[in-house]
Structure 1
């Protein structure tokens, strides 16, 4: 599908409405269980938690390395908001612009969250796993493959199911671009993040 092709959002079936409702309820429960909180309660598109990283080393573009045992700020997108953005978007490129604008507004606030954390000096970097990784390099993130193995297999199934449920064109994207949809690690060091997004900086929005 071309980027400028209109997003055709068919009427949502009752089965999918139930799936979306159950998925959103599960996500709310997951957030409470793992103390995941929004960067901005008034605009809860980006949610985070501080945790210990247990994966393989991640070599970042600025030379830093996130290693096993490092503390990271784990990133989570609000899939309910993502679904609403998709259903209200006029085209794929309009959806992308909405996501970019929202992310740009939240990045400086993310630094504020880090600096207000009681153990902010231990946070080595920001880290997430997503199929929506196109465009993250422009924000300074390193994008790398998720190591193959059981975790990759389970994550791939989970994210594909998520895409099928919350994305208005989820089924179509899985059928036409399934081979391109692979979970990736996105990460940036705290040092690089602070350099790019000082709190006093106002980012230019598209």
Structure 2
């Protein structure tokens, strides 16, 4: 099942309403796969690949994949591998602008890192992310259901593919320290994408 134009248009209208009702900020609307919100971290202690520690109560930038934007990019894509490569490419292209955005924030000094939860976590470790499990409480069970529903619309095989992902695509937490993000992708890095080619 590929998403038809009418359904995509309705999703776009809903996404505008959702954006206005949340504190999510665009990094660059229509050109960046992330939306973000600054908040205090409420989960278990995280240790990043560069040995930084994010504790409960620390300030973080919570990252959200802009699912509607990604769905527009995926329109017409029918192959699993192409879909995965498309997502990875747009994450790669979006991280430098996320780093620059964080550098410009008034709250930069108190931020410990970036954190998100996703089912689309395969292949993100070479980009600098660490991965850990999330507790399957009511909130994360709902989020997993919601993300699977979105993937059902985005993915070309729809319902069939999402059912096969039930075991292979668990919900995970992905995170990176502020220091690692800025070192890899910040404005002081003369070639932020160089090590990813």
TM-score normalised to structure 2 length? 0.86
1:86 to 69, 74, 95: 74
Contact 1:72 1:123 in 2 (8 A): yes
2:46 corresponds to: 58
Query: CA 1:91/1:167 → structure 2, altered by over 3 Å: closer, same or farther?
Result: closer
CA distance in 1, matches of 2:48, 2:105: 23
Structure 1: gaps (5+ residues): 1-9
1:117 to 95, 105, 120: 105
CA distance in 2, matches of 1:12, 1:63: 42
Once the two structures are TM-superposed, the CA of residue 105 in structure 1 deviates from its matched residue by: 1.8
| Greater mean alpha carbon deviation, residues 165-174 or residues 70-79 | 165-174
What root-mean-square deviation, in Å, do the aligned CA atoms of Structure 1 and Structure 2 show?
2.2
Contact 2:30 2:69 in 1 (8 A): no
1:7 corresponds to: none
SS in 1 for 2:120: coil
1:100 corresponds to: 88
Check if 1:74 corresponds to 2:62: yes
CA distance in 1, matches of 2:57, 2:135: 17
| Greater mean alpha carbon deviation, residues 42-51 or residues 140-149 | 42-51
2:150 corresponds to: 162
Query: CA 1:46/1:27 → structure 2, altered by over 3 Å: closer, same or farther?
Result: same
SS in 2 for 1:88: coil
CA distance in 2, matches of 1:166, 1:42: 17
| Greater mean alpha carbon deviation, residues 80-89 or residues 128-137 | 80-89
TM-score normalised to structure 1 length? 0.83
Query: CA 1:90/1:151 → structure 2, altered by over 3 Å: closer, same or farther?
Result: closer
Structure 2: gaps (5+ residues): none
CA deviation map 1:9-48 (0-9, x unaligned): x56569xx44x55544333323222231222235032211
1:132-147 map, 5 Å: 132-147=120-135
CA distance in 2, matches of 1:127, 1:76: 9
1:203 corresponds to: 193
Query: CA 1:202/1:68 → structure 2, altered by over 3 Å: closer, same or farther?
Result: closer
